[in-house]
Structure 1
């Protein structure tokens, strides 16, 4: 069974911990639809994401759009190689182009 948690470390940064997959995305999306950012940019730290599948990619795209509707820009930090591969395989690089901070997870 997969697990994911959404945490707010401060007003301009949130992070996911666990798996972003088809088992966890529905529950986390319910939390995200209630999230109302009150600033113009939020960093989403993916350091602690240990698994991501295509449902996780879709969640991140919806998160970007949800924030955009509230005049907030999402920047994804510490993007795992697995996510980069999924983005390329799904041919959605252009949708993530302005939202990736190019930092590697150590």
Structure 2
């Protein structure tokens, strides 16, 4: 099973691409719910995400929680500025603080 926005580079590396918004999140979440981590940690690159809204932010929060339940820690890399602003404005900093990789 594959999804056009979920690009697996290795067992512990995935890149998301395209828009993470209210139009794309439902199908992407349906795919992610079936995903099972293969390691205790994973890097999720957002380098190829070109648009994100609050639905995309919530998707990432749910993805992190889904992975935690399976003993996997997700680190987000190349987080877009707009997403960082949404996280800050939504007071979701505490939820995502340990999951954002800084350079």
Report the TM range for the smaller structure's normalisation: over 0.9
Q: What does 1:50-65 correspond to in 2, within 5 Å?
A: 50-65=50-65
SS in structure 1 of the partner of residue 37 of structure 2: coil
| TM, length-normalised to structure 1 | 0.92
SS in structure 1 of the partner of residue 48 of structure 2: strand
Unmatched 5+ stretches in structure 2: none
Structure 1 residue ranges (4+ consecutive) displaced by more than 6 angstroms after TM superposition: none
Aligned to 2:6: 6
SS in structure 1 of the partner of residue 98 of structure 2: helix
Let me know the Cα RMSD of the aligned residues: 0.8
SS in structure 2 of the partner of residue 28 of structure 1: helix
Q: State the shift of 1:102 in Å.
A: 1.1
Map Cα deviations across residues 23-81 of structure 1 (whole Å, 9 max, x no partner): 00000001100100020000000000000000000000000000000000000000010
**Partners of 2:11 and 2:26 in 1: how far apart?**
24
SS in structure 2 of the partner of residue 34 of structure 1: coil
| TM, length-normalised to structure 2 | 0.95
Unmatched 5+ stretches in structure 1: none
Q: What does 1:18-29 correspond to in 2, within 5 Å?
A: 18-29=18-29
